[in-house]
Amino acid sequence: MFTVEEARELLNPIKEPFLHISLSELDAIEEIKVKEEKNHVSVKIAIAKTGTSEQLQFQTQIVNLLKEAGASTVGIRFNELPAEVLEKYRSTESKQAKGLLSKDSNTTFIAIASGKGGVGKSTVSVNLAVSLARLGKKVGLVDADIYGFSVPDMMGITDRPVVQEQKLIPVDRFGVKVISMGFFVEDNSPIIWRGPMLGKVLNQFFNDVEWGELDYLLLDLPPGTGDVALDLHTMLPTCKEVIVTTPHPTAAFVAARAGVMALKTEHEILGVIENMSYFESKVTGEKEHVFGKGGGDKLAEVLKTEVLGRLPLAQPDLNEEDFAPSVYQEDHQLGKIYGEIARKMIQTIG
């Protein structure tokens, strides 16, 4: 014999057709009656809007569910949810649907760009993200270098994103939420895609990932001014950029192209980071400018910005228990420099 408790248990998790929130959470099941002699179930349910095709589909769903569970016949009446309930949940739904790319988003996008590969752009991206997180900021990092993804390995990430309620949950490492194409490729396979497919992936990274509240979302761009960089410049009408170069004049000359592209798309350049500025001997303390001098200053002058910091050649102190081959510890020489650059960026952004 069908009971009221059985009916309620079946109906509670069903989602209301307009708000997509469970009936139990909305307290929308107003009445359930069971006539034992006829095994007839009658229910009264409140929904956001009555007299619609959605109501008819919803009614069919409930009837089928109760009959499959043992009810002989089912009767349904509908009321409309109270105005205060609608206002509460529609407001919540609006906030959830806002997304990182909406005009109302409070997230600041910071793209890390370079004119050519091999200048340490991804290393800079990773360590800036970690440094911002150490300063108490809510930080996300998108490895937007689809062909040359490297962030997961650099940060020592072995986990993979999971899916919850049709949203990807990014991997959290050192307080930074990370998403990368590297999470979805087996055996380090090469990516052989054309521009439009890359754009779709980037769009998914923004819209199909549950980022939560972020102060900053850093984007590790591929080098140069190719399809991915163009797509990102189109997707992000407001974005800050940091240009990474080495001290060599030619590297700075090439990096200027990425900076000029940012300016043409009305992105704000926060500054230049000169990587591999010098090598400092641990024995003598003498500095050797292995890759030349002046590239960062020259680039900053061309782009009418400032040099945020100069990073010497060094490597992190590796910790086998918490392995992250490219993340500098907070008290490391470079960790301190990254921390100062992060503070300067926060102050500049305001």
Q: Could you read off the pLDDT of 73-114 as tens digits, one per residue? A: 999 999 999 988 888 776 555 444 456 776 667 899 999 988
Instruction: Indicate the helix (H) or strand (E) that contains 347.
Output: helix 333-349
Q: What was the pLDDT predicted at 97? A: 46
Provide the β-strand partners of residue 244: 273
In CATH terms, is domain 4-82 a member of 3.30.300.130? yes
Give the pLDDT confidence of 320-341 residue by residue, as tens digits. 777 889 999 999 999 999 999 9
Average pLDDT, the chain: 84
- The pTM of the full predicted model, rounded to 2 decimals, is 0.69
Q: What is the DSSP string of 244-286?
A: EE-SSHHHHHHHHHHHHHHHHTTPEEEEEEEES--EE-TTT--
CA dist 324 → 52, 64, 141, 177, 243 (Å): 56, 54, 16, 15, 24
**Considering the chain, what percentage of its residues have pLDDT values greater than 90?**
36
Phi/psi for 51 (5° steps) reads 70, 35
- The DSSP bridge partners found for residue 274 are 245, 310
What is the structure's pLDDT at 30?
93
Residue pLDDT, tens place only, 224-235: 655 556 667 667
213 or 147, greater pLDDT: 213
β-pairing verdict for 171-173 and 176-180? antiparallel
Q: Which residues, at least 6 apart from 47, have a Cβ–Cβ distance to it below 8 Å?
A: 16, 17, 18, 28, 55, 58, 78, 79, 80, 81
Per-residue pLDDT, 262: 64
Indicate the angle between helix axes 249-264 and 295-303, nearest 10 degrees. 20
Name the E strands within 85-209.
108-113, 139-143, 162-164, 167-169, 171-173, 176-180
108-349 CATH: 3.40.50.300
pLDDT of amino acid 268: 85
Q: Give domain limits for the chain.
A: 4-82, 108-349
Whole-angstrom distance, CA of residue 157 vs CA of residue 45: 47
Q: What is the pLDDT of residue 259?
A: 72
Given pLDDT bands bounded at 50, 70 and 90, which one contains residue 252? confident
